Structure 1
Amino acid sequence: MAEQRARLDLAAARHAVEVALEAARRAGNRVSVAVVDTRGHDILVVRDDGAAWFTAGVARAKAATAALVGIPTTAYSGLADAHPALAELIDAQTRQSLTTLPGGLPVVVDGEVVGGLGVSGAQPEQDVEYAQAAVAAG
Structure 2
Amino acid sequence: MTQGTGQERATAAAVAALQHARTIGVRVSVALVDLAGHELVVVRDDGAPGFTAGIARRKAATAAAFNRPSAELRDVQERRPEVLEVAGEQLRFRPTTLGGGLPWLLDGQVVGGVGVSGATPEQDTECAEAALAALAG
Any gaps of 5 or more consecutive residues in structure 1?
A: 1-7
Partner of 1:104: 101
% identical aligned pairs = 52
Aligned length: 131
Aligned-pair CA distance for 1:75: 1.0
Residues 95-123 of structure 1, C-alpha deviation per residue, up to 9 Å, x if partnerless? 11321000000101011110000000011
1:117 maps onto 2:123 in alignment: no
3-state SS, counterpart of residue 21 of structure 1 = helix
CA deviation map 1:16-75 (0-9, x unaligned): 101100000011111000000111111100001111111000000100101111110011
Aligned partners of 1:87 and 1:69: how far apart in 2? 10
1:91 partner letter: G
* Conserved? CA contact 1:40–1:96, under 8 Å: no
Cross-structure match for 1:136: 133
Does structure 2 retain, via aligned residues, the 8 Å contact 1:36–1:42?
A: yes
C-alpha contact 2:84 2:94 (8 A) present in aligned 1: no
Q: Which letter maps to 1:73?
A: S
Match for 1:117: what amino acid? V
| Alpha-carbon separation, structure 2, partners of 1:56 and 1:77 | 21
Residue 25 of structure 2 is aligned to residue 41 of structure 1: no
Deviation at 1:15, TM superposition (A): 1.3
Q: Distance in 1 between matches of 2:42 and 2:94?
A: 15
Structure 2 partner of 1:13:
10
Give the TM-score taking structure 1 as reference length.
0.90
In the TM superposition, structure 1's runs of 4+ consecutive aligned residues that sit over 3 Å from their partners are none
Gap runs ≥5 in structure 2: none
Q: Partners in 1 of 2:95 and 2:76 — Cα distance? A: 13
Q: Quick one: distance in 1 between partners of 2:88 and 2:97?
A: 12
SS of residue paired to 1:87:
helix
TM-score by length of 2: 0.91
1:26 aligns with 2:23: yes
CA RMSD, aligned part only?
1.2
Which residue number corresponds to residue 3 of structure 1? none
Q: What letter is aligned with 1:95?
A: R
